[in-house]
Amino acid sequence: MSGGKKVIVVDKGTELTKIAQKAAELSSWELAIATDTKQARELAATKNPGIIILGYLEPQGEAFRLHKQLRENAKTESIPQVVIDVAPDEQLQKGWRKADGLRMDAEHYLCMPVSPSELAKVVDDVAALNEAIGVI
């Protein structure tokens, strides 16, 4: 993603945030970090991000609701979203189903563990596709 595109990562923890920071360094993103849904909505409405990375999308949890709220808001509905979910074994432990995440209308879905280079490539690819079709 060239030109310093704005990317927001939404994550309560630190693991995904650290990965996103390293990925941003690899791809020259301007990264903003939101640690809760209120902050994420504010950043999405004011920063005009090219992509939003949502971390840990438990069914009907905060990130899941945020995804829906962003899609229902006219200012944020077309912002591409990349979902980074917990590892499959953790999904099973918590009773989550990967299928729930896959049914969402996010532009890309990954499960942890994710490397900074993998995240950088996914975000760059999503951005390139959306630029090509005129979304961002």
Rounded CA-CA distance 54/109 in Å is 10
Q: Which of 45, 46, 83, 44 is nearest to 63 (CA)?
A: 83
Predicted TM-score (pTM) of this structure: 0.86
List the structure tokens of 65: 């609701």
Beta-bridged to residue 82, according to DSSP, are: 53, 108
Kindly give the confidence (pLDDT) of every residue in the chain, 136 residues in length, as a single tens digit, with 9 standing for 90 and above. 444 589 999 998 789 999 999 999 999 889 999 998 999 999 999 999 999 999 875 555 777 789 889 999 999 999 999 998 878 777 666 666 666 666 677 899 888 999 999 999 999 999 999 888 875 5
By DSSP bridging, strand 51-55 and strand 6-10 are: parallel
Domain residue ranges in the chain: 6-96+106-114
Class of the 6-96+106-114 domain? Answer: alpha beta
